[in-house]
Amino acid sequence: MKKYLFNGAMALIVGVFIVSCSHDDISQTATVDQMSKSFDELFTELYGPIAENHNWGFNTVLAEAGVDDAAEAATRGTTRSAQPNSNQWGTHDDNDKYLDWPKPADITDTERAAVLAVFNQRGAESYTDIANLRDFFVQQVYCGPNGSKMNELACWDPQGHEVTEYPDWNGYQAYTYTTNDDIVNNFNAGKYSGNAEQGCMLMWYSSTSQWSFKTSQSGGERIYDHWRMEKINGNYYVGLDHEAWRQAPANANEEDKRDYIYNDWILKIVPGQGQGGNSGTPTIVREEPYTETKTTTTTTYRKIVDLGRVFCEDIATATMNVKEDIDYNDIVFDARVWEYYDMTYISENGSSTTYGPSNIYYQYDINLLATGGTIEEKVNDTDVHNKFGVGQTFMVNTWTPNSKAYGQYNTKTMEAANFSYTKYVAAGTDAGISSIPIYVKYKGNNMLALGDKTSGAPYKLCLPVGKLWPIERVNIRDAYPDFGSFVSSPSNTFYDGKNVIENLYTQAPTSSIETDKNNGKGIDYLETVSTSSNSSSVTVVWAGSASEDNTAITLRNYSFSAGKTLRFYGSGTIRVVDSSSQGIFESIPMSGGYCDVYISNDTQAAALNAGIITVSGVSGSNGSSYTLTKIVVL
Ligand SMILES: [Ca+2]
Ligand SMILES: [Ca+2]
Ligand SMILES: [Ca+2]
């Protein structure tokens, strides 16, 4: 219950009300309902019918709903998936998974010329692998005059197919590739086509350590491994030197002695950059990790959402003529409502996201200006007389010689008495001046709320700050003759019309709220209260998109060790295993958008340092489906 209507509050709190007055026309034993009805009746008699839904000058100020911080901003990455143990690249389908490794750029004419300038030079008899790659692309660079006689390019040739008996044809061997050889499939066929030199193939878990080719001769196929590897302008190239036997003197035209010029077929080998694989312990190409810095800046603002001067009437305690006591000066205060809220700006990955408002609360500044009542009165928790520093029998800032109050009343002229309080207000409920609690005490020590009545005569009015209030025991109509038309027509701003100045209290103390308003601090005035900022960095060891079981991902080249904490971003629950299906982390529930996982031992660290981990969903709140978008080291 956010508001206490006068009637409702009485019903809840006391039930039976005994008025303190003895000289008015309200029954001494009236219930609040009866008393209120009497006030309503008198009010209507004085001012006429009350317009429906009269707000008595109070604004409608509903509390803002805060916005929770959103989930982490979208992570960078590309869609990749793994295809186990294949040297096929591109559209090869295996278990419904496709590789999506970035294809190397096509060879340019300038590059080809630079490569040929090296390989056209006579070379040595043998060369060694200077690239030492296991995952790599093979790309056509150049097909020389003898290239058309060569096919079945293979790498990782541990058998050593070198034919050394040349030119003794009797010693030839008709070699065939074995399972130890890694033939670059789907590669040779296009070699002679018009765009042959744009050919490209991915080798996975293979090796750049040996290169060989077949040459077709009438006497049978032979395998040669005449190759040369060079690093040119930072890139690796393999040149092949053609050789062919004669099977017999009759086939002498087939014979082609090698010339140690490795320009008959030239290839480029490009380190593969991607992810995948579920077998072996290949030397994988791992990108370097990168740092993400997240800067969070929180600024607290405050904005004036309501501003006004409140006139209160505690007529129920009237001891004089009730009619004259409707002076609406029993408590007079200026009120200002500040809405405080935080805005959070998160700068991350080169972009900034704003969250908020959050942490919304309201501050109520009260400038007590007068009290023309002699009962205990409180605004929020503050006793009005006490705040003015006077006893309860004193009236403050309402008396003039024109007042109709009898002489037994004490009166004082005082400066404004200021105080503030803050409170949280439920979103969508009243946060305006009308929600400021105002209590008066009646006989029986019950503090009753001068609530914002939604019908009948009002116990409080709200006017613009600066408006003067009636002097003691002068009916508000005798100070503001248009008050009656305000009662029937809320848009009638009676205080801007006629007034009887001698019936208004013109020596009002200075209100700091009025001063502020005159200096431009009106409704919607916005101030920055404070700003704080902090930054944190994480090391990104993987970013991408994984959602299927047995998705192998290649971690960036980070040195994991026990004691580090990893943060997995995504949804669902996953299990992480190594390339041998040995569990590393059995359950990572990313129910809140991420999950922190502690590397607790060297075994886990070693499994991560192997570079490839395989991720699967495990049963959780959303079944076994999951998404994984990023892994960072905190
Ligand atoms: Ca040659
Ligand atoms: Ca009064
Ligand atoms: Ca009064």
**Contact present, 216 and 140 (Cβ < 8 Å):** no
**Residue 451 belongs to some domain of the structure:** yes
Ligand 1 is an ion; its neighbours by CB within 5 Å are: 241, 259, 261, 264
Give whole-number Cα distances, 239 to 112, 227, 242, in Å. 12, 6, 10
Spatial CA neighbour of 314 closest among 398, 241, 410, 252: 398
Ligand number with the minimum distance to the CA of 312: 2
The answer on 358 and 232 residing in a single domain is no
**Contact present, 326 and 26 (Cβ < 8 Å):** no
Phi, psi of 434 (to 5 degrees): -65, -15
Asked whether the predicted pLDDT for residue 171 surpasses 60, the reply is no
**Residue 282 belongs to some domain of the structure:** no
Q: How far is the CA of 318 from the centre of ligand 2 (A)?
A: 7
Asked whether the predicted pLDDT for residue 503 surpasses 70, the reply is yes
- Best mean pLDDT range from 158-162, 198-202, 402-406: 402-406
Amino acid identity for residue 155 in this structure: C
Ligand number with the minimum distance to the CA of 262: 1
Beta strands across the sheet bearing 200-203? 200-203, 136-143, 265-271, 235-240, 227-232
Count of structural domains, the chain: 3
The answer on 552 and 473 residing in a single domain is no
Residues spanned by the domain of 571: 547-633
- Best mean pLDDT range from 21-30, 352-361, 385-394: 385-394
Q: How far is the CA of 312 from the centre of ligand 1 (A)?
A: 108
Q: Which residue has the higher pLDDT, 286 or 501?
A: 501
Q: How far is the CA of 505 from the centre of ligand 2 (A)?
A: 14
Q: What is the pTM of this model?
A: 0.55
**Residue 495 belongs to some domain of the structure:** yes
Asked whether the predicted pLDDT for residue 172 surpasses 70, the reply is no
Residue with tokens 């006391």, as numbered in its chain = 14
The answer on 238 and 126 residing in a single domain is yes
Q: Which residue has the higher pLDDT, 385 or 41?
A: 385
* pLDDT, tens digit, 9 for 90 and up, residues 260-290: 999 999 999 887 654 443 333 344 567 789 9
Q: Residue 471's CB: how many other CB atoms inside 10 A?
A: 26
pLDDT at 316: 59
**Can you tell me the mean pLDDT for 133-145?**
81
Asked whether the predicted pLDDT for residue 66 surpasses 90, the reply is no
Residue 402 pLDDT level (bands cut at 50, 70, 90): confident
Spatial CA neighbour of 570 closest among 591, 599, 554: 591
**Contact present, 298 and 342 (Cβ < 8 Å):** yes
The answer on 621 and 570 residing in a single domain is yes
Ligand number with the minimum distance to the CA of 471: 3
**Residue 486 belongs to some domain of the structure:** yes
**Contact present, 118 and 230 (Cβ < 8 Å):** yes
Q: Residue 231's CB: how many other CB atoms inside 10 A?
A: 11
Residue with tokens 């026309």, as numbered in its chain = 25
**Contact present, 256 and 217 (Cβ < 8 Å):** no
Residue 197 pLDDT level (bands cut at 50, 70, 90): very low
Asked whether the predicted pLDDT for residue 388 surpasses 70, the reply is yes
**Can you tell me the mean pLDDT for 62-79?**
44
Q: Is residue 400 classed as helix, strand or coil in its secondary structure?
A: coil
Ligand number with the minimum distance to the CA of 318: 2
Residue with tokens 């700003």, as numbered in its chain = 531
* pLDDT, tens digit, 9 for 90 and up, residues 7-39: 333 333 333 333 333 333 333 344 455 555 578
Ligand 3 is an ion; its neighbours by CB within 5 Å are: 327, 329-330, 372
Q: How far is the CA of 477 from the centre of ligand 3 (A)?
A: 14
Secondary structure E strands in 233-322: 235-240, 265-271, 290-312
The answer on 517 and 553 residing in a single domain is no
Secondary structure E strands in 79-175: 136-143, 150-155
Q: How far is the CA of 347 from the centre of ligand 1 (A)?
A: 59
Tokens found for residue 398: 């309402």
Q: Give CA–CA dist 200/196, Å, rounded.
A: 9
pLDDT at 79: 21
Ligand number with the minimum distance to the CA of 123: 1
Asked whether the predicted pLDDT for residue 156 surpasses 70, the reply is no
**Residue 84 belongs to some domain of the structure:** no
Q: How far is the CA of 371 from the centre of ligand 2 (A)?
A: 10
pLDDT at 17: 33
The answer on 398 and 468 residing in a single domain is yes
**Can you tell me the mean pLDDT for 545-562?**
90
pLDDT at 362: 96
* pLDDT, tens digit, 9 for 90 and up, residues 84-99: 223 344 433 343 333 4
**Can you tell me the mean pLDDT for 233-262?**
82
Ligand number with the minimum distance to the CA of 440: 2
Q: Give CA–CA dist 159/312, Å, rounded.
A: 104
The answer on 376 and 264 residing in a single domain is no
pLDDT at 102: 59
Spatial CA neighbour of 258 closest among 173, 174, 166: 166
Ligand number with the minimum distance to the CA of 226: 1
Close Cβ partners of 45 (under 8 Å, ≥ 6 residues apart): none
Mark which of 271, 303, 325 sits at the end of a domain: 271
The answer on 459 and 561 residing in a single domain is no
Q: Give CA–CA dist 537/532, Å, rounded.
A: 17
Mark which of 495, 527, 559 sits at the end of a domain: 527
Asked whether the predicted pLDDT for residue 553 surpasses 60, the reply is yes
**Residue 306 belongs to some domain of the structure:** yes
The answer on 502 and 558 residing in a single domain is no
**Residue 537 belongs to some domain of the structure:** no
**Can you tell me the mean pLDDT for 417-438?**
94
The strand pairing partners of 585, in sequence order, are 576
Give residue 549's Cα distance to chain centre. 28
Spatial CA neighbour of 182 closest among 92, 260, 268, 86: 86
Q: Give CA–CA dist 567/569, Å, rounded.
A: 6
The answer on 517 and 578 residing in a single domain is no
The answer on 304 and 266 residing in a single domain is no
| Percentage of the chain exceeding pLDDT 70 | 74
pLDDT at 68: 47
- Best mean pLDDT range from 31-35, 189-193, 469-473: 469-473
Close Cβ partners of 280 (under 8 Å, ≥ 6 residues apart): 85, 205, 579
pLDDT at 320: 41
Q: How far is the CA of 262 from the centre of ligand 1 (A)?
A: 5
**Residue 496 belongs to some domain of the structure:** yes
Mark which of 527, 557, 584 sits at the end of a domain: 527
* pLDDT, tens digit, 9 for 90 and up, residues 594-619: 999 999 999 999 999 988 899 999 98
The answer on 523 and 573 residing in a single domain is no
Q: How far is the CA of 259 from the centre of ligand 1 (A)?
A: 5
